Amino acid sequence: MSVGALEGALARPEEKYRICGDTGLRVYAKAETLIKVNAVAAVVFLAVGGLFGLLVALTRWPAVHILPAEWFYTALTAHGAAVLLFWIIFFEMAILYFASAILLNCRLAAPKFAWLGFILMIVGSLMATVAVLQGESSVMFTSYVPMKAAPHFYLGIILFAVGALLGCMVFFGTLVIAKEEKTYEGSVPLVTFGAITAAIIAVFTIASGAIILVPTFLWSIGYISHIDTVMYKLVWWAMGHSSQQINVSAHVAVWYAIAALVLGAKPLSEKVSRTAFLLYILFLQLASAHHLLAEPGISSEWKVFNTSYAIYLAVLGSMIHGMSLPGAIEAAQRRRGFNKGVFGWLRQAPWGNPAFSGMFMSLVMFGFLGGISGVVLGTEQINLLMHNTLYVPGHFHATVVAGTTLAFMAVTYLVVPLIFRRELILPAVARWQPYIFGIGVAGISLFMMGAGTLGVSRRHWDITFSDSVFTFDYPGTAFLMMGLNGISAVLAAVGGLMYVVVVVGSILFGKVRDEAAIKANPIVAPGNAVSTYGGEGTLKLPGTIVLVTVFFLAFVLYYFINWKFLSEVWPLS
């Protein structure tokens, strides 16, 4: 290491660290422990939230219809909070600490603050979960005013958000320390840059959440008499949608990390990939407007500009990543000699490694299912066809579950051996897990989008309307879709259970990963010490060209089909 690093180390009492036998990275004990506790909390909430999700899907399967109405809405609220907020943000805290402290060879800034943040997040998440399960706060994840939840529901989420904000501050602080102590040279790794993107969006997200949830909390205890409903939605979605943009940035960073660790893939171009993240930083959060396209009184200028992320510049960012990642994988595979034909590199990819298979499915499904549907859904006028229908959860299960959750599951198969230093138990179960979960989630997304296209409402207990004054029959196909959605949810739940069993089992009972195990079962691709840029530019990447071409054609076709659908409904102006 450089002289600067030596001086930095001498300047303060040395913190305990180890050198990772797999990667050669310096792993500080305090950072490692915080990664562990956040990851464990995340997995617990995934298990709880997943169970509620299964109950929701089984209730919406008309032939099964398992929960009574009140419980259904409670379960749906609990599902949203537990997985959309708690599972994902706990895991993201682990990613932030990993991408700063571990990847930069640096100690964590203010670990005590990180612990305080963690404790606040735990207290907040438990408080909100209890509030929901008490049954007085079945207000859905969105808690639209003037529907009122119990005060401790809002307070729990506020505490959770404050805790997460502390985590972000620790992350930025670690970046500062790493730079001062010169624990790395040049620019931070691309994965860390992705994490910076996620953390920046998190700051805006949490600030917006505070702006709206603090008054809402005060309103729930009677200090404020009125909250404007449209204003609430505007500010709430600056949190609600942006929090999903944290996920996008984080899981793209995870894709790059997995491709690098498993295959030794390096980005085709640092410039292009980082610029794509910059487009996220600047424009991704504008898409909170997707949720206000059907609201009264907001001008079309505002809607068109914001819903399109300022002329689709953030979509441009995603399309760049959508080419860079397969491109990087193809280049790495070809460099290793898998050169046969257009797709030899893909056929010969390590499909038996759940880290890789999960990552690649996440990439494909996020792009094809989540990305395309998101742009279509977020088109100002086409939104009229889909607003508040099941198309919306169909879309975001493709982004947040098939995209984020699957990517996070995939990276867990690296976190367990590298951070928890345990060998995976039940490797056969682990090998199949991403496929079972992935297929289940693809089904959930597709069938909900299908039902939504047929007009089926989201957040709805009984689409047969049996207790209503007027009964309306959705088309038979819609009922079929809801049944298939239920079956897919069962499959995804099995996949989720497999994940929890393998991960928890490995952490508790897995064989300790010692020197011998590292030699016998290497996880990290060899020959990845090279850290200079360039080099991949000379390779031909025909497979990636075919993949992005197929993607583009699907995108264009589906986009215009929906304009055709729109042109057929009642004219309105």
Residues 7-46 that bind another protein (CB under 8 A): 23
For another protein, which stretch binds (CB under 8 A), given 50-58, 149-157, 353-361, 378-386? 378-386
| Nearest CB to another protein, comparing residues 61 and 499 | 61
Q: Is 377 helix (H, G, I), strand (E, B) or coil?
A: helix
- Residue 9, φ and ψ in degrees, nearest 5: -70, -35
Count of other CB atoms within 10 angstroms of residue 301 = 8
Residues 409-468 that bind another protein (CB under 8 A): 454-455, 457-463, 465, 467-468
Q: Determine the Cα–Cα distance for residues 150 and 138; give it in Å rounded to an integer.
A: 9
Question: Considering the rule CB under 8 A, would residue 133 count as an interface residue with another protein?
Answer: no
Binding mask 319-338 for another protein (x = CB under 8 A): xx--xx--xx----------
Using CB under 8 A, which of 224, 520, 556, 561 touches another protein? 556
Question: Considering the rule CB under 8 A, would residue 115 count as an interface residue with another protein?
Answer: no
User: Smallest gap, in angstroms, from Cβ of residue 333 to another protein?
Assistant: 15
Number of residues interacting with another protein: please give it, by CB under 8 A.
143
| Nearest CB to another protein, comparing residues 18 and 179 | 179
User: Smallest gap, in angstroms, from Cβ of residue 285 to another protein?
Assistant: 4
Whether 141 contacts 99, CB under 8 Å? no
Q: Return the structure tokens found at 239.
A: 């949190």
Q: Return the structure tokens found at 503.
A: 């991960």
Q: Determine the Cα–Cα distance for residues 331 and 345; give it in Å rounded to an integer.
A: 9
Question: Considering the rule CB under 8 A, would residue 131 count as an interface residue with another protein?
Answer: no
Question: Considering the rule CB under 8 A, would residue 231 count as an interface residue with another protein?
Answer: yes
- Write 374-380 long-range contacts (CB < 8 A, 24+): 374/290, 374/399, 375/312, 375/315, 375/555, 375/559, 376/558, 376/559, 376/562, 377/290, 378/287, 378/289, 378/290, 378/293, 378/307, 378/308, 379/307, 379/559, 379/562, 380/293, 380/300, 380/303, 380/304, 380/307
Largest CA distance in the chain: 79
Continuous segment of H or E residues that includes residue 17: strand 17-19
Residues 50-79 that bind another protein (CB under 8 A): 69-70, 73
User: Smallest gap, in angstroms, from Cβ of residue 316 to another protein?
Assistant: 5
Residues 489-528 that bind another protein (CB under 8 A): 528
Reading phi first (left if > 0) and then psi (alpha if -120 to 50, else beta), residue 135 is in left
Residues 276-315 that bind another protein (CB under 8 A): 278, 281-283, 285-286, 288-289, 292-300, 302, 304-306, 308, 310-313, 315
Using CB under 8 A, which of 261, 364, 419, 444 touches another protein? 261
| Nearest CB to another protein, comparing residues 46 and 254 | 254
Question: Considering the rule CB under 8 A, would residue 381 count as an interface residue with another protein?
Answer: yes
| Nearest CB to another protein, comparing residues 470 and 509 | 470
